[in-house]
């Protein structure tokens, strides 16, 4: 058998040998005419090594020479967290089987996914890259890692570009630098791993040679099916824990109340006019909206078809009527009055409505326009009890460490199950020192006899 030398180069594993090797028998291996060598994508590193060992080749591995780290944290895992970690370590969990130390864990918001990620780092003791979608999560992870580990913590993103054996990066920064960093880490942790399914972000996982790969999320499956690509790059979903599995013991028990509200006569007339414009166009064009791709096709058509554009605008105006329904606001007033002693988060899809509700009910508002310092001040005052309620448009759904709340009100949203799960998770965290925080309550306000009913049904 030929002697083989492996080296890492620009997101690939370069394979050189002193004799002939059967490239067809080795995963991902292709001939590169520029360097006249064989190469494989970096993410095939482990499979390539295993295949070379199995065929009896003598391998000199210069692709991934990593130090051993002494990582020790103060966290002690709860039983369900340990089960999830073990499922990942062995590749044999309740959601299927996969290779050891590769795969995705799906756990509810508030169940301690970060803690499991830190425990994985501690167990392996290898240089680790943590990839996160937002600056808020970047800050939160770096704070946790700095607190738990006695080693420098690197950061890529948020105005800093510093690489250490333990580094936290945004998806954007990791995407830009993955090719050069692919041989620096033995473990990569993708927080909110569903983002990895995005067309560009997939290259992060492809360009890294890290043998150990962990994905963390509250909702793994994507409507576009891109979670299957994530499974190919990281490993399959190996463990899933549902909200109901933890409610009452590790998370608060909860109830969901769906409240139907009627449009006023004036609102109904406006809604029906716009909705009819939309549905009439679909009927005349023989378009059936069965999936997100069908809707995207309609959006593309609107670029050249004035009637398609008119239909889309009409759809948006009909949705604005349902989002801003007068009786939703009236019902919200009743809910806020009923829950004066509770911590309440109000969710809506409309930034304009956030500001109107903030002014009417004197509630602090958080939107994408809210500066980092102001947002941190609001959340800190919500945390210490100075504020008992906050209203937001989407930005608290994911990637922000939200203080304890026990009542949520969804005034409007998408049909996304992920969005709904994340909003529910915001009110399920037990209070400090308690096994259960009592029953949490999530209200859904839905305008009856409108398309919003179908949207609400889809997310549930």
Higher pLDDT, 313 or 218: 313
Question: pLDDT > 90: what percent of the chain?
Answer: 39
Residue scoring higher pLDDT (348 or 416): 348
Q: Please state, for a pLDDT cut of 70, what percent of the chain lies above it.
A: 86
Q: CB 334: neighbour CB atoms within 10 A?
A: 10
- Are residues 84 and 114 located together in one domain of the fold? yes
| 305 and 337 co-located in one domain | no
Are residues 183 and 224 both part of a single domain?
yes
Find the domain containing 348 and state its range. Answer: 254-262+325-459
What predicted TM-score, i.e. pTM, was given to this entire model? 0.72
Q: Do 307 and 273 reside in the same domain of the chain?
A: yes
The string of DSSP codes covering 310-332 is HHHHHHHHHHHHHHT-HHHHHHH
| pLDDT for the residue numbered 432 | 46
Tell me what the mean pLDDT of segment 229-253 comes to. 78
Whether residue 247 lies inside any domain: the answer is no
- Mean pLDDT over 376-399 rounds to 81
Give the pLDDT confidence of 262-308 residue by residue, as tens digits.
Answer: 999 999 999 999 999 988 888 887 776 665 666 777 777 788 888 88
pLDDT bucket at 416, cuts 50 / 70 / 90 = low
> Would the pLDDT of 233 be above 50?
yes
As for how many domains the chain has, the answer is 4
pLDDT number for residue 209: 94
The distance from CA 433 to its chain's CA centroid, rounded to whole angstroms, is: 28
Assess whether pLDDT exceeds 80 at residue 383: yes
Question: To the nearest whole number, what is the mean pLDDT of the chain?
Answer: 85
Overall average pLDDT of the 345-368 stretch = 91
66 falls within a domain: no
Q: Specify whether 310 is located in the same domain as 333.
A: no
User: In this structure, are 111 and 230 located in the same domain?
Assistant: yes
pLDDT of residue 436: 39
Say which CATH number the domain at 195 has. 3.40.50.300
Contacts of residue 411, defined as CB under 8 A and 6 or more positions apart, other chains included, come to 323, 328, 332, 346, 347, 348, 353, 445
Q: Residue 38 is part of a domain; what is its CATH number? A: 3.40.1170.30
For residues 258 and 328, the answer to whether their CB atoms sit within 8 Å is: no
Asked whether residue 249 is assigned to any structural domain, the reply reads no
**Residue 128, both tokens:** 């680790």
Residue 268: what pLDDT? Answer: 94
């Amino acid at each position: 058998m030929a002697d083989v030398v492996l080296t890492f180069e620009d997101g690939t594993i370069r394979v050189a040998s002193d004799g002939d090797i059967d490239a067809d028998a080795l995963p991902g291996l292709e001939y590169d005419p520029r360097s006249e060598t064989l190469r494989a994508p970096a993410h095939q590193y482990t499979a390539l090594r295993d295949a070379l060992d199995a065929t009896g080749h003598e391998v000199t591995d210069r692709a991934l020479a990593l130090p051993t780290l002494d990582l020790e944290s103060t966290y002690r895992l709860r039983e369900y967290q340990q089960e999830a970690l073990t499922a990942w370590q062995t590749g044999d969990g309740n959601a299927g089987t996969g290779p050891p130390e590769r795969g995705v864990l799906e756990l509810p918001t508030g169940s301690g996914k970060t803690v499991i990620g830190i425990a994985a780092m501690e167990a392996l003791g290898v240089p680790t890259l943590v990839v996160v979608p937002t600056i808020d999560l970047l800050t939160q992870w770096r704070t946790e890692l700095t607190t738990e580990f006695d080693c420098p913590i690197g950061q890529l993103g948020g105005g800093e570009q510093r690489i250490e054996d333990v580094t936290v990066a945004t998806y954007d920064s990791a995407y830009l630098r993955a090719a050069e960093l692919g041989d620096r880490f033995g473990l990569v942790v993708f927080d909110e791993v569903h983002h990895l399914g995005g067309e560009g972000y997939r290259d992060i996982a492809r360009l890294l040679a890290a043998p150990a790969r962990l994905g963390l999320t509250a909702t793994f499956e994507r409507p576009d099916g891109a979670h299957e690509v994530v499974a190919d790059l990281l490993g399959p979903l190996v463990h899933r824990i549902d909200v109901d599995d933890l409610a009452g013991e590790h998370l608060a028990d909860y109830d969901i109340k769906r409240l139907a509200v009627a449009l006023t006569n004036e609102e109904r007339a406006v809604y029906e006019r716009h909705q009819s414009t939309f549905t009439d166009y679909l009927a005349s064009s023989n378009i059936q909206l069965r999936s997100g791709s069908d809707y995207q096709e309609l959006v593309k058509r609107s670029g050249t078809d004035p009637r398609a554009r008119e239909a889309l605008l009409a759809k948006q105006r009909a949705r604005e009527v349902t989002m801003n329904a007068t009786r939703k606001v009236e019902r919200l007033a009743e809910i806020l009055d009923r829950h004066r002693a509770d911590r309440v988060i109000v969710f809506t899809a409309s930034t304009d409505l956030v500001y109107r509700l903030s002014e009417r009910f004197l509630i602090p508002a958080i939107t994408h326009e809210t500066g980092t310092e102001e947002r941190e001040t609001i959340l800190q005052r919500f945390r210490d009890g100075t504020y008992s309620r906050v209203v937001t448009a989407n930005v608290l759904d994911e990637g922000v460490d939200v203080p304890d709340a026990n009542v949520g009100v969804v005034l409007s949203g998408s049909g996304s199950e992920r969005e709904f799960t994340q909003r529910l998770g915001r009110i399920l965290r037990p209070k400090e020192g308690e096994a259960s925080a009592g029953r949490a309550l999530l209200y859904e306000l839905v305008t009856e006899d409108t398309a919003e009913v179908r949207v609400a049904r889809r997310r549930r």
